[in-house]
């Protein structure tokens, strides 16, 4: 890690076209930091100086994790705001960090490094960026943080069962800093919901650091906000409940694991005893579920986000030259307390989303607001490969697909898919829940509904 230490004299900030913090250094030079890159400002105990933690991005490789920078020196406690135009106006804005109050809190902090997520960057990002930031933001307590590195696909679930759930269920406040993709969150949620909770249960607070491939939840919560790879949330006290949905399955549904070489039983719902899986991103069937399932192999994973597009092309342009598969099932939509079946019995794309973005630039549900707990259905019927590519291409243009006449897009309370023996081949009966794949029996079903329980809170960065 390269640390820059700079002595500073009073801070001014130019919030004209782009919000910036400008430091006048004692050598006379100015240092300007884009506000979007600031992780935190921590006053020293005498309140006369401050440490500024910020990130610097690799201009050549915009997908690369940023470098952490730490600057410290004498600051004023206010900044000036200068508006553009001929008449400039200056207003005051206090720069303050809330890290000192976090430092003295009695929250037990755990850090999870999901070594197998994304491009295997979690451990390096922790060492190079997270650790130095924590040392400044939590000068007293960071040494007591518990660090866990994943060893297998079971690690997060096991930790949740053995450590997080028992503590949360006794009312202890936990903070979990999670360096992973969406898979880390789904394991936490399912672990925390695996047993009935006591009345003392306290939802752990999770800080999301996007070290996976798609990082749908992170991008949906942070779209257009800071540019710190989630690091700003480390210095935040603000948190909101994470909306979650439940997918309940018919008796014989099985979780596919190890590149679908093995199948496992799913957990059972405490009340109904049906197999159940919880998610916070999407539940899907049809083209989306198939391409996630087909591309979840070591070989495909090497291609990062490209893997989804590669698998989509294979599904949409079968080698046999035939048109893409028309997925057959009965679909019903829940609104309020009323279920209503869709007329169409053949489909291509059926997806219920709790988030706006399933990739940083793929806006599947443009009406969804961060953590708003609304579930939206996106559906279109069987069509050619070219037409499906056109519709999906619109999703990369800020979610324009939802205005296309071919697409059904609406706010729902639940969706049920019943196979009714219409699909012989099990690969057309695969359901995707936040990246996990469940195969349903020939006459089986899946029902997706909002989950009311408050299981996890997400720490949100303060602006
Ligand atoms: N050390 C490890 N050995 C084997 N599997 C691992 C290890 N660490 C993590 N995993 C598994 O790798 C997968 C990573 O999933 P995760 O969702 O975090 O990343 P991703 O799939 O790249 O991102 P996203 O879901 O955001 O697209 C999970 O199934 C997790 O259990």
Listed by start position, the domains of the chain span: 8-95, 100-235, 245-451
Ligand 1 mean position to 114 CA, how many Å?
A: 6
Superfamily of domain 100-235: Probable inorganic polyphosphate/atp-NAD kinase; domain 1 (3.40.50.10330)
* Ligand 1 nearest-atom number relative to CA 210: 26
Rounded Cα distance between 159 and 146, Å, is 12
Q: What is the pLDDT of residues 271-281, one digit of tens each?
A: 999 999 999 99
Say yes or no: CB of residue 214 within 6 Å of ligand 1: yes
| pLDDT of 3 above 50 | no
- Is 97 a pocket residue for ligand 1 (Cβ < 6 Å)? no
Q: What six digits make up the tokens of 228? A: 């710190």
Please check the confidence at residue 90 and state whether its pLDDT lies above 80: no
Ligand 1 and 162: CB distance under 6 A: no
Tell me, in angstroms, the distance from the centre of ligand 1 to residue 181's CA: 7
Q: Is the pLDDT of residue 136 over 60?
A: yes
Task: Write the residue with the smallest CA distance to atom 11 of ligand 1.
Answer: 153
Average pLDDT, the chain: 87
Q: What is the mean pLDDT of residues 125-140?
A: 94
CB of 295 shorter than 6 A to ligand 1: no
Q: What number does the ligand 1 atom closest to the CA of 149 have?
A: 1
Question: Could you tell me the distance, in angstroms and rounded to a whole number, from the CA of residue 183 to the centre of ligand 1?
Answer: 6
Q: Is the CB of 152 under 6 A from ligand 1?
A: yes
Average pLDDT over residues 20-26: 64
| CB contact set of 357 (below 8 Å; sequence gap of 6+) | 216, 219, 220, 223, 363, 364
Confidence of residue 81 (pLDDT cuts 50, 70, 90): very low
Is the pLDDT at 74 greater than 90, yes or no? no
Cβ of residue 151 lying under 6 Å from some atom of ligand 1: yes
Least confident of 20-34, 183-197, 222-236: 20-34
Output the pLDDT for position 43.
79
Q: Using a pLDDT cut of 90, give the percent of the chain over it.
A: 68
Whether 383 is in the pocket of ligand 1, judged by its Cβ within 6 Å, is no
**How confident is the model at residue 55, as a pLDDT?**
94
CA nearest ligand 1 atom 8, residue: 116
Closest approach atom of ligand 1 to CA 155: 31
Whether ipTM tops 0.90, in short, is yes
Question: 363: CA distance to ligand 1 center in Å?
Answer: 23
- Residue 363 Cβ contacting ligand 1 at under 6 Å: no
Which residue's alpha carbon is at the smallest distance from atom 12 of ligand 1?
116
Q: pTM for the complete prediction?
A: 0.89
Cα 186 to middle of ligand 1, angstroms = 11
Is the CB of residue 118 below 6 angstroms from any atom belonging to ligand 1? yes
pLDDT bracket for residue 24 (50, 70, 90): low
Q: Is 357 in the pocket of ligand 1 (CB under 6 A)?
A: no
Q: Is the pLDDT of residue 101 over 70?
A: no
Contact 388, 328 (CB under 8 A): no
Spacing, Cα 290 to ligand 1 middle (Å): 18
Closest residue to atom 20 of ligand 1, CA basis:
212
The fold adopted by the segment(s) 245-451 is Tumour Suppressor Smad4 (2.60.200)
If you take atom 14 of ligand 1, which residue's CA is the nearest one?
117
Whether the predicted pLDDT of 85 surpasses 90: no
pLDDT digits (tens, 9 = 90+) for 383-421: 999 999 999 999 999 999 999 999 999 999 999 999 999
pLDDT of 116 above 80: yes
Is the CB of residue 239 less than 8 Å from the CB of residue 430? no
């Amino acid at each position: 890690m390269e640390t820059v230490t700079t002595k500073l004299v009073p801070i001014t900030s130019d919030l004209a076209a782009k919000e910036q913090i400008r430091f006048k250094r004692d050598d006379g030079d100015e240092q300007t930091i884009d506000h979007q890159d600031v992780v935190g400002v921590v006053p020293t105990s005498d309140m006369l100086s401050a440490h500024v933690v910020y990130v610097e991005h690799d201009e050549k490789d915009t997908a690369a994790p940023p470098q952490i920078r730490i600057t410290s020196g004498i600051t004023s406690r206010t900044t000036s705001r200068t508006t553009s135009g001929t008449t400039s106006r200056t207003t005051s804005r206090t720069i303050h960090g809330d890290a000192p109050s976090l430092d003295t809190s009695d929250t037990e902090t755990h850090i999870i490094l999901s070594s197998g997520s994304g491009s295997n960057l979690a451990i390096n990002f922790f060492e190079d960026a997270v650790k130095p930031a924590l040392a400044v933001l939590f000068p007293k307590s960071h040494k007591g943080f518990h660090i866990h590195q994943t060893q297998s696909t079971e690690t997060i679930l096991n930790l949740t069962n053995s450590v997080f759930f028992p503590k949360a269920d006794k009312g202890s406040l936990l903070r979990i800093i999670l360096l992973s993709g969406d898979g880390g969150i789904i394991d936490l949620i399912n672990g925390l919901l695996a047993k009935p909770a006591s009345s003392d249960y306290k939802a752990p607070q999770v800080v999301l650091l996007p070290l996976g491939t798609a990082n749908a939840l992170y991008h949906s919560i942070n779209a257009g906000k800071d540019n710190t790879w989630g690091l700003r949330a480390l210095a935040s006290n603000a948190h909101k409940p994470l909306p979650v949905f439940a997918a309940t399955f018919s008796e014989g549904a099985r979780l596919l694991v190890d590149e679908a070489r093995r199948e496992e039983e799913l957990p059972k719902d405490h009340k109904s005893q049906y197999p159940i899986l919880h998610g916070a991103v999407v539940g899907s069937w049809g083209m989306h579920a198939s391409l996630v399932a087909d591309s979840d192999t070591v070989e495909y994973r090497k291609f990062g986000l490209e893997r989804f597009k590669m698998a989509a092309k294979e599904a949409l342009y079968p080698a046999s030259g035939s048109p893409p598969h028309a997925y057959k099932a009965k679909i019903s939509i829940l609104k309020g307390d009323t279920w209503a079946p869709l007329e169409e019995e053949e489909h291509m794309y059926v997806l219920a989303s709790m988030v706006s973005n399933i990739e940083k630039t793929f806006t599947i549900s443009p009406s969804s607001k961060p953590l708003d707990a609304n579930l939206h259905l996106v559906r279109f019927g069987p069509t050619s490969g070219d037409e499906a590519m056109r519709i999906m291409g619109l999703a990369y243009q800020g979610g324009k697909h939802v205005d296309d006449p071919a697409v059904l897009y609406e706010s729902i309370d639940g969706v049920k898919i019943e196979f009714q023996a219409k699909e012989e081949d099990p690969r057309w009966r695969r359901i995707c829940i936040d990246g996990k794949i469940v195969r349903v029996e020939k006459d089986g079903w899946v029902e997706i509904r909002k989950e009311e329980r408050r299981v996890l809170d997400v720490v949100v960065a303060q602006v």
